[in-house]
Amino acid sequence: MELVQMPKNLFVADQLLVVVLLINFVMLGSNRLMFCIRAAATQGVILGILPGILHPFSFHITLITVLILVGKGIVIPGMIGKAVRDVQIKREFEPFLGYIPALILGAIMTAAAFVFAEKLPLSPEHENLLFVPASFSTLVAGFLILTTRRKAISQVIGYLVLENGIFIFGLLLSETMPVLVEAGMLLDLLVGVFVMAIVINHISREFSSTDTSRLRTLKEE
């Protein structure tokens, strides 16, 4: 019986996606904001490399790679890091869901993502690859960070991770996805971060804190 060997570029892509999965757990279990920002930036750099690994060299691929590396790896993490320095907050204390339960839930959902991916009717070239489980796992990790952390800055990081999961899934369609759609995804991310930066600024001014749970005091009496 002849064994089917995975092409080298797909093998490398799978190894990078394993790193992405590990970064998800690192962020779920860490309360240090700058560390999480650097982890998200590393994740963005890995995602920027993937299109060049999966497809032959072209102007389209080069443009997308540069946009992702600059946007996800430098510009957006730099903006979030500046916000952290401005509000002088180093750690996320007392999240809505503890770090250990978040890690356990993330692990369960990651396992469920692998099971779910096996049930999907994927094309032959996409079977046995980590793109679908890594995509869903990253989506869940981003959603957990977004919904279980109190600090608005942590929630921005969660939004960034959530978009990374969407991007991983989009890589499966990259051959048919035009550059404008991919650039539109990056633009949506930039707009979302800008909006959240404005929200952080207003919360900090009004409450001298970025704890979003304090927004409850704004409800009408």
Q: Which of 153, 58, 51, 144 is nearest to 101 (CA)?
A: 144
Prediction pTM value: 0.78
pLDDT value, residue 140? 93
Q: Which range of residues forms the domain containing residue 100?
A: 8-205
User: Is residue 220 scored above 50 in pLDDT?
Assistant: no
- CB-based contacts of 150, cutoff 8 Å, min separation 6: 92, 93, 94, 95, 96, 211, 212, 213
User: Is residue 131 scored above 70 in pLDDT?
Assistant: yes
pLDDT tens-digit map of 26-49: 999 888 888 999 999 999 899 888
Residue 3 included in any domain: no
Residue 160 included in any domain: yes
pLDDT tens-digit map of 98-119: 889 999 999 999 999 998 888 8
Do 39 and 26 meet the contact criterion of CB atoms below 8 Å apart?
yes
Range from 11-25, 78-92, 150-164, 186-200 that averages highest in pLDDT: 11-25
Q: For 97, phi and psi rounded to 5 degrees?
A: -125, 130
Cα gap 147→161, rounded to integer Å: 12
Residue 106 included in any domain: yes
Residue 211 included in any domain: no
Residue 45 included in any domain: yes
For 24-76, the DSSP string reads HHHHHT--BHHHHHHHHHHHHHHHHHHHHHHS---HHHHHHHHHHHHIIIIIH
Based on the structure, what is the number of domains in the chain? 1
Cα gap 20→169, rounded to integer Å: 13
Residue 214 included in any domain: no
Residue 31 included in any domain: yes
pLDDT tens-digit map of 137-147: 999 999 999 88
pLDDT tens-digit map of 50-95: 887 877 777 777 877 887 888 888 888 888 888 778 777 778 777 8
Do 95 and 150 meet the contact criterion of CB atoms below 8 Å apart?
yes
Burial bucket for residue 48 (CB in 10 Å: 0-12, 13-18, 19+): buried
pLDDT value, residue 136? 92
User: Is residue 194 scored above 80 in pLDDT?
Assistant: no
Selected residue with higher pLDDT from 78 and 122? 78
pLDDT value, residue 146? 86
Do 203 and 209 meet the contact criterion of CB atoms below 8 Å apart?
yes
The letter for the amino acid at 199 is: V
pLDDT value, residue 119? 80
Residue 150 included in any domain: yes
pLDDT value, residue 118? 83
